[in-house]
Structure 1
Amino acid sequence: MAAAPGAFSLREVLAGFQECVTEQREVLLGPYLCGWRGLVRFLNGLGAIFSFISKDAVAKIQIMENYCGGERREEYRTLQAMVRYELSGGLVDLQRRSAHPDSGCRTVLRLHRALRWLQLFLEGLRTARQDASTSAICTDSYNASLAAYHPWVVRKAAVVAFCTLPSRDAFLEVMNVGGPEEAVEMLGDALPHIRNVYGITQELYEQHHLLDLP
């Protein structure tokens, strides 16, 4: 059954991240943002408890779409081209946020960190037992990724909110690809592509000392 317009579909995420990486292992920002728009629909479908992440992701996606559609769009066709362009032009605040608080490098870094949390969470859902606690999976994934970048009050509120999450099967139904078995199978197809995009981005940012941008 097709997902309703505007609803999350795991197929959209799979297509976006599948098309992301070129044969030269460059990350195409257009498909990357398409995959992220699908992930935002997933977050929105889980309810208001994820709004603190989804609202920030929407803002970051909009910034990047403006770059990708702007006058220098060719410099933002791939992640690698963006990093070269912004670093060579002095367009990245490396020490403190000042002249370029919304640089492409900083904006993608925030999406990159959130992608790690979603990757870990979805992997946990895929491999967990049917009766596993989604709250525990989500909390463990959050603590291993995004929590390090959030102030204490946000971390506390997030962990409390995770306690209200539905069952694993209810989550898998939200994937809009059929029953839990179909969702697990498609997650098995999608997650390697997400891991690949994450790994390439992590390596690129590490190489250019961009992982701790303010």
Structure 2
Amino acid sequence: MAAAAGAFSLREVLSAFQAAVTERREVLLGPYLRGWRGLVRFLNSLGAIFSFISKDAVAKIQIMESYCGGERQEEYRTLQSMVAYELASGLVDIQRRSEHPDSGCRTLLRLHRALRWLQLFLEGLRTAQEDSKTSTICTDSYNASLAAYHPWVIRKAATVAFCALPSRNAFLEIMNVGTPEEAVVMLGDALPHISSVYGITEELYAQHKLLNLP
């Protein structure tokens, strides 16, 4: 059953991230951003709690989409071609300069960090007991990923907000793939593809010493 227009669909996210990785382990930016658009719908379906993450993600997605559809779109077809092009052209602020605050490499790094949190959170939902506290799963995932990059005020507000999250089964119903049991199965299918994209990106950024771009 297709999700309503604008609604989150785990199946769409699965197919986007699945399509993002080529046989040569390149990450295609078009499907990657499509997958992220789906994840933003997931964040929005959870209410205002996650707006501080979803608004930032939307801004970053829009920057990346402008590169992918711009004059140098061939350079932005894959993650690998983008990194090679921007580094060769001096478009990445390796030091603490602000000449290229919206470079593709820096912009995608922000999405990459948020993707880690969502990956951990969804994996936690998939493997948790039915009566597990989603606030605990979310807080643990956040602390293991995005929290390190947020100032104390945002970290504090986030962990307080997480306390209002719905039950695990309510989350699984938001996935729009049927029963909670069916959602767990689809998460099992989707997460390896998200993990693959994350792992390839992490490896490439580490190789070029881009993981701590200011």
Deviations 1:31-80 (A, max 9, x none): 00000000000000000000000000000000000000000000000000
List aligned pairs for 1:111-122, cutoff 5 A: 111-122=111-122
* Matches of 1:149 and 1:54, distance apart in 2: 15
Whether 1:190 aligns to 2:190 is yes
Please state how far the C-alpha of 1:98 moved relative to its aligned partner.
1.3
Q: Residue 105 of structure 2 aligns with which residue?
A: 105
Q: Residue 70 of structure 1 aligns with which residue?
A: 70
2:113 partner SS: helix
* Matches of 1:193 and 1:37, distance apart in 2: 16
Please state how far the C-alpha of 1:181 moved relative to its aligned partner.
0.4
Q: Residue 200 of structure 1 aligns with which residue?
A: 200
* Matches of 2:93 and 2:194, distance apart in 1: 27
Q: Equivalent pairs: percent with the same residue? A: 84
Please state how far the C-alpha of 1:3 moved relative to its aligned partner.
1.4
List aligned pairs for 1:36-115, cutoff 5 A: 36-115=36-115
Please state how far the C-alpha of 1:97 moved relative to its aligned partner.
3.6
Please state how far the C-alpha of 1:2 moved relative to its aligned partner.
2.5
* Matches of 1:7 and 1:73, distance apart in 2: 29
Supply the AA of the counterpart residue of 1:132.
S
| TM-score using structure 2 length | 0.99
* Matches of 1:11 and 1:97, distance apart in 2: 40
| TM-score using structure 1 length | 0.99
* Matches of 1:97 and 1:109, distance apart in 2: 16
Q: Residue 4 of structure 1 aligns with which residue?
A: 4
Deviations 1:175-194 (A, max 9, x none): 00001001000000000000
Q: Residue 170 of structure 1 aligns with which residue?
A: 170
Please state how far the C-alpha of 1:199 moved relative to its aligned partner.
0.2
Supply the AA of the counterpart residue of 1:96.
R
Runs of 4+ that moved beyond 4 A:
none
Size of the aligned set, in residue pairs, is: 214
Whether 1:161 aligns to 2:189 is no
Please state how far the C-alpha of 1:4 moved relative to its aligned partner.
1.1
Structure 1: 5+ residue stretches without partners: none
* Matches of 2:17 and 2:3, distance apart in 1: 19
Supply the AA of the counterpart residue of 2:57.
A
Structure 2: 5+ residue stretches without partners: none
* Matches of 2:85 and 2:2, distance apart in 1: 41
